[in-house]
Amino acid sequence: MNPNPVDAPTAPAGIAEATVNVNGVVTSGDRAVVSVFDHGFLYGDGVYETLRTYNRRPFLPDRHLARLRASAARLSLEVPPSDAELESRLRDTMRAVHPQGEVMLRILVTRGVGDLGYDPAVCRTPTVVIIARPHRESPERVQRDGVRLVVASVVRNHPRSVDPVIKSNNLLNNVLAMQEAVRAGAYEAILLNHRGELAECSQSNLFVVRDGVVLTPPLDAGLLEGVTRNLLFEVGAEVGLAVREAVLRESDLPDVDELFITSTTREVVPVVEVGSRTIGSGSPGPVARRLLRRLRERADRLTRAAD
């Protein structure tokens, strides 16, 4: 019997290129294993973070680890390793990844292995996994031409259900929205909240530009407080752009000059169409470009400064 959960020669590229750290032990992506009794697998009972490197160094690890702990606290889930230990595991895990180019890092903390049942007491020790694999830059056309989104029919989780502020491994809400985007040949799906307002996308936050002001849905719209979203408030101030929270609706879209989405791995992506509606001029706009340039400058400076 093949002991490997994924047959090495046929492992898809993303898995074959990955290095994985399971509870402190580093293995290749095709050999990494977690028990089927892990409550992360059984119930999605866990939290995660996605980071990327610039200059081969994790960008803003302190912010990601703070959010990881905040997410875990919302589930009464412990994250036993200290931040220093987690950062050291990040470095150990990415060391084995292809030595050229940037790295994507995913940290997962689950309730751990335990008998069937929802009582957290059946799991003694959380499982801590780090996946490191080469970061994939978006194709050039994404920045050059912009992308198309759709508005999903599935709504974002109600904050009193699985609160979107928790970056949880329980991702079916996001998966269902993204399936709609895939079926429509779109890059991402916008999710509305239970009040019908724009909330965020399946794996990114959403911004519009109207009359020179950059607006993004407020946290109480029910969304993940993106690290990149927060960074844009700072980067916007640096370049003299007002970046504010505002309640946004689909009916606002005809009046916006630009729309863009943000995430750690995608940075700032210009959107030129939502469904069959053209956004602004139908081409990527100058505000998104300016914010992206400044974000990359900041990332470069911060990761070089670590020398």
Ligand X SMILES: Cc1ncc(COP(=O)(O)O)c(C=O)c1O
Q: Which residues are catalytic?
A: 167
Does residue number 303 form part of the binding site for ligand X (CB under 6 A)? no
Q: Write the interaction track for ligand X spanning residues 168-197; mark x where CB under 6 A is met and - where it is not.
A: ------x-----------------------
* Helix segments in 3-146, DSSP class H: 13-16, 39-43, 61-74, 83-95, 140-145
Residue placing its CB nearer to ligand X in the complex, 30 or 49: 49
Q: Write the interaction track for ligand X spanning residues 13-52; mark x where CB under 6 A is met and - where it is not.
A: -------------------------------------x--
Sign of CA dihedral 87, 93, 95, 101: negative
Residue from 127, 168, 262, 303 binding ligand X (CB under 6 A): 262
Residue placing its CB nearer to ligand X in the complex, 39 or 64: 64
- Residue in the structure block whose two tokens are 């689909």: 250
Mention every residue, 6+ apart, whose C-beta is less than 8 A from residue 87. 58, 61, 65
Going by C-alpha positions, the residue among 250, 193, 255, 190 that lies closest to residue 220 is 193
Residue placing its CB nearer to ligand X in the complex, 111 or 266: 266
DSSP string, 208-242: EEETTEEEE--GGGT----HHHHHHHHHHHHTT--
Q: Which of residues 274-293 bind ligand X (CB under 6 A)?
A: none
Does residue number 204 form part of the binding site for ligand X (CB under 6 A)? yes
Q: How far is the CB of 265 from ligand X (least distance, A)?
A: 7
Q: Which of residues 47-86 bind ligand X (CB under 6 A)?
A: 50
Residue placing its CB nearer to ligand X in the complex, 59 or 241: 59
Mention every residue, 6+ apart, whose C-beta is less than 8 A from residue 282. 272, 273
**291: which 2 tokens?**
């914010």
C-alpha 57/C-alpha 66 separation (Å) is: 18
Q: Which residues bind ligand X (CB under 6 A)?
A: 50, 174, 200, 203-205, 224, 226-229, 262-264
